C-alpha cells in the first residue's frame, strides 16, 4: 500500500518573496512535485531556490555504477541488487558516506 503524504495548508514564501497559501501551490507554480521539494529540503539540504529550480530528472532513473563497476539502469535497481533500502542509501550518500559503505554496511541493529 502506498503511503499518502499530506501537506498542511501553511503559508510559505519562495526565494523570490512570492507568497503562496501552501507548499503544494508553491510547488505547482514552480512545476515540481511537493514530495520532490520536501525531499530536496529535508534529505539533500538544498536551499529553497535550489529545491524549486533544479531540473527534475526524468522517470526511469539515471544510469549509475556501484563500487565494483557494475552498471545499473538506476540507483533503485542498484540498491535492490545490494539489498539496501533506497532511502537509507540516499541518506548515507548525502551525509558523505563512500559508495561502497553506503551500499554494503548493515543497518544499525541488524
Q: Each residue of 98-110: pLDDT tens digit? A: 999 999 999 887 6
Please list, in sequence order, all residues whose beta carbon lies within 8 angstroms of the beta carbon of residue 85, skipping any fewer than 6 positions away.
79, 107
The pLDDT value given to residue 97: 97
Question: 3-state class of 20 per DSSP?
Answer: strand
The pLDDT value given to residue 10: 79
Please list, in sequence order, all residues whose beta carbon lies within 8 angstroms of the beta carbon of residue 42, skipping any fewer than 6 positions away.
none
Q: How confident is the model at residue 65 (pLDDT cuts 50, 70, 90)?
A: very high
Alpha-carbon distance of 107 to 87, in angstroms, equals 12
Backbone angles phi and psi of 10, in degrees to 5: -135, 125
Backbone angles phi and psi of 12, in degrees to 5: -145, 165
Using the predicted structure, report yes or no on whether residue 7 has a pLDDT greater than 60.
no
Mean pLDDT rounded to a whole number for the chain = 89
What pTM was computed for the model? 0.48
Amino acid at each position: 500500500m502506498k503511503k499518502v503524504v499530506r501537506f498542511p495548508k501553511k503559508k510559505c514564501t519562495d526565494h523570490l518573496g512570492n507568497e503562496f497559501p501552501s507548499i503544494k501551490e508553491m510547488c505547482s507554480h514552480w512545476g515540481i512535485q511537493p514530495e520532490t521539494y520536501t525531499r530536496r529540503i529535508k534529505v539533500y539540504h538544498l536551499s529553497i531556490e535550489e529545491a524549486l529550480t533544479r531540473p527534475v530528472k526524468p522517470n526511469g532513473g539515471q544510469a549509475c555504477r556501484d563500487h565494483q563497476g557494475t552498471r545499473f539502469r538506476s540507483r533503485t535497481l542498484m540498491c535492490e541488487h545490494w539489498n539496501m533500502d533506497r532511502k537509507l542509501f540516499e541518506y548515507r550518500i548525502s551525509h558523505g558516506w563512500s559508495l561502497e559503505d553506503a551500499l554494503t554496511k548493515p543497518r544499525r541493529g541488524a
